[in-house]
Structure 1
Amino acid sequence: MSSIDIRKTSPLLFEFRAKFFPEDAKRELIQDVTQRLFFLQVKEDILAGHLACPSETAVLLASYACQAKFGDIEDKKHSLTSIPLDHLLPASILSNHEVDSDGWYKMIETWYLEHRDQSPQEAMISYLQLAQDLETFGVDYFEIRNRRGTDLLLGIDAIGLAVYKPPDKSTAKLGFAWSEISNITFSDRKFTIKPMEKKAPDFIFFTTHLKNSKRILALCVGNNELYIRRRQPDSMEVKQMRAQAEEERAMKSAER
C-alpha cells in the first residue's frame, strides 16, 4: 500500500476473492468457512454476469441459494416474491427471456421444494458442484497475440491452459492440460509453452502488458502445483482437517 498515493482521509474498501479454484468443490473445499466464501464469490459472479450461465441452470442455482440462506421453504416467514429477482437471477437472463416475474418465482420455488431437509452447508456445496460444470468456471482470461499479431484470449484454470478467438470464451481453439506441459518460460511480454510431446511445436504468444505477464506466470505456477497435489495422496495435515470437518458436520447434523 505504501506505493499507492491515497489520501489518509479516504476510506479503503478491500474485497477478498479466491485466486485458485477447485476441480471438485465437494472434495477440495474441506472447511465450512472455505465453502461459504467460495459460494458467495461464485454466486456474486453469476448474478453480475461475470460467469456465464444458462437460464435453466441459473434457476436451479437460485433455488440452492435460497435453501442455503433461508432453509426449508415451508419454514420461511416470507414468500420468495419478497426477494428482488435480480438478487436471484442474472439481469441478462431476466432481460433475454419472455417470462414474467411470477413465472420466474414459480420456477425457482418448484426446485426449492426439492431441497427440503438440506442444511445450508449442503445447499452451498450443491450450488458449487453445479456451478463448477459451467464452461467458464474458475477461468482467468487475458488478452494475448500470437506471432502473426492475431488477437486471442488465453484462459487459465485448474485443468490447464486454453486459447480462444474473442469474443468466444467457451470454445477453445487450442488447449494444454497441465500434465501435457513440459515448461513455461517468459521474457517481458513473450511466453513460450513447451509441450511434453517432443514432436509437438512450442506455442508462443505475447501479452499486451508486462504486468499481465507476471499474473499469467503466477497463475500457471499455482494452478500447476495444485493440479499435481490433487493427484497425490493426502498429507497427514489434510487428513486431519478432513476428519475434523466431518466430525463437526456430524455434530451439527445431530443437533438439527
Structure 2
Amino acid sequence: KVTMKTQFLTPQKVLGGDFFNKVCGHLKLLEKEYFGLEFRHHGGNYVWLELLKPLAKQIKCKSTYIRYCTIDFIIVAKCVCVCRYLFALQIKQDLSNGSLTCNDNSAALLVSHILQSELGDYDEELDCQHLEMKQYVPNQEYLDHKIIKLHKKHRGTSPAHSDIQLLEVARKLDMYGIRPHPAHDGEGMRINLAVTHSGVLVFQGNTKINTFSWAKIRKLSFKRKHFLIKLHDQPSCKDTLEFSMASRDVCKSFWKMCVEYHAFFRLAEEPKAIRKTLLSCKGSSFRYR
C-alpha cells in the first residue's frame, strides 16, 4: 500500500474543480476524467468532492484528509502510463484492505504480477523475504507458495506489462470496481447496493442477486434515508422498489454516485438546460458535469 501526502495552499472559496485540476497537474495526470477526490464526510462515510461547489462548503473540518485521485469510474480500456499506474495502485490498495473480494487463486495471481512489477524476475530467496516483509492480501501466509509458483512464470515481463496483466486479471473479477453500500430491502433483509456502468446492482454478501439496467430504470430518487428505484412497467414485479440505508447523508451520497455514473456512461453530452430526468430528485440540485 502506497501513501502519498502532499499539501496544497488554496483560497478558501476555491471551487472543487479547480482544486482537482491542481492535484491532477501535480501528478501530471491527463486522463483525469476517470478519477476523483474522496474525503470522509462529517457523518463518517466517504464522499466524492463536488467539482462545482467551493471547498469551504463541502469540507467543514480543517483537519480533513483528502485521499486524492481515487478511481471514480472503472473502465476496461487501454490507458496511458500514469493513469495505468494509478489504476494498478488502486488494485494493490483494495487487495491489501480486503475491499477487492476474490478467491485464493485470483488473489495469488494478482500478487504474482505485483511481485514481477516491483521485484523483476523470480528469485526464491528475494521473493520469500519480500513476502515476509510486505502484506498484499489479508490471508497471504496461506498463499505464499502459490504466489511464488506463479511468479516463476512471469520471467522476462517488464514492470509496465506486469501492470497491464494485473489490470487484465482484475477486470474479470465480479467485485472489481464494486463499492458495496449496506442497505435493507423492503422485507428487512440485509443487502448491499452498488452502481456500475450498466446500472444499479443488488448483492447479498458477495453474491449478485439482481441487476437494474439503466434501460429498465424510469427514475432514481431518495427520501430521507430511503433509496427508491422506479422501473418501467414490468408485469412480473413492482414498479417501485424501496431500500433503506443508514442515514439520509449515506442515501444521498449513493444517489449522487448514481447521477455521476449515469451521466458519465450514458449521456453523449451535458444537457444545456436543467430538466426533470431519470435521476432528478426533489430537494437536491446536484448535477454532474
Q: What is the TM-score with the length of structure 2 in the denominator?
A: 0.63
Residue 82 (str. 1) matches residue 138 (str. 2): no
Specify the alignment match of 1:53 in structure 2: 102
Q: Secondary structure at the match of 2:207?
A: coil
CA deviation after TM superposition for structure 1 residue 183, in Å: 1.9
Deviations along 1:163-220, one digit per CA (max 9) or x if unpaired, are 233xx1x222322123332321223223221224554522222222111122111211
Contact 1:45 1:51 in 2 (8 A): yes
Deviations along 1:10-36, one digit per CA (max 9) or x if unpaired, are 7x75422222222x1xx1x52211111
Unpaired runs of at least 5, structure 1: 233-256
Specify the alignment match of 1:173 in structure 2: 209
**Higher strand content, 1 or 2:** 2
Code of the aligned partner of 1:115: H
1:83/1:163 Cα in 2 relative to 1: closer, same or farther (>3 Å)? same
1:49/1:181 Cα in 2 relative to 1: closer, same or farther (>3 Å)? same
Deviations along 1:226-245, one digit per CA (max 9) or x if unpaired, are 3326xx7xxxxxxxxxxxxx
Code of the aligned partner of 2:86: L
Specify the alignment match of 1:152 in structure 2: 191
Contact 2:186 2:241 in 1 (8 A): no
Q: Secondary structure at the match of 1:36?
A: helix
Q: Distance in 2 between matches of 1:138 and 1:108?
A: 23
Of residues 110, 114, 130, the one that matches 2:169 is 130
Contact 1:62 1:89 in 2 (8 A): yes
Contact 1:47 1:87 in 2 (8 A): no
Contact 1:145 1:152 in 2 (8 A): yes
Q: Distance in 2 between matches of 1:108 and 1:192?
A: 44
Q: What is the TM-score with the length of structure 1 in the denominator?
A: 0.70
Contact 1:58 1:89 in 2 (8 A): no
**Higher helix content, 1 or 2:** 1
Specify the alignment match of 2:117 in structure 1: 68
Q: Distance in 1 between matches of 2:133 and 2:217?
A: 42
Of residues 25, 30, 34, the one that matches 2:79 is 30
Q: Distance in 2 between matches of 1:61 and 1:130?
A: 7
Report percent identity of matched pairs.
22
1:67/1:155 Cα in 2 relative to 1: closer, same or farther (>3 Å)? same
Q: CA RMSD, aligned part only?
A: 2.7
Of residues 156, 160, 164, the one that matches 2:203 is 164
Of residues 188, 192, 197, the one that matches 2:224 is 188
Deviations along 1:101-152, one digit per CA (max 9) or x if unpaired, are xxx2x43233223223322222112111211222221112222233344433
Deviations along 1:53-105, one digit per CA (max 9) or x if unpaired, are 2111111111110122233337x9x72122134735422353xx4x7xxxx2x
Higher relative contact order (CA 8 A, sep 6+): 1
Q: Distance in 2 between matches of 1:19 and 1:145?
A: 25
Q: Distance in 1 between matches of 2:216 and 2:91?
A: 28
Specify the alignment match of 1:120 in structure 2: 159
Specify the alignment match of 2:275 in structure 1: none
Q: How many residue pairs align between the two structures? A: 209
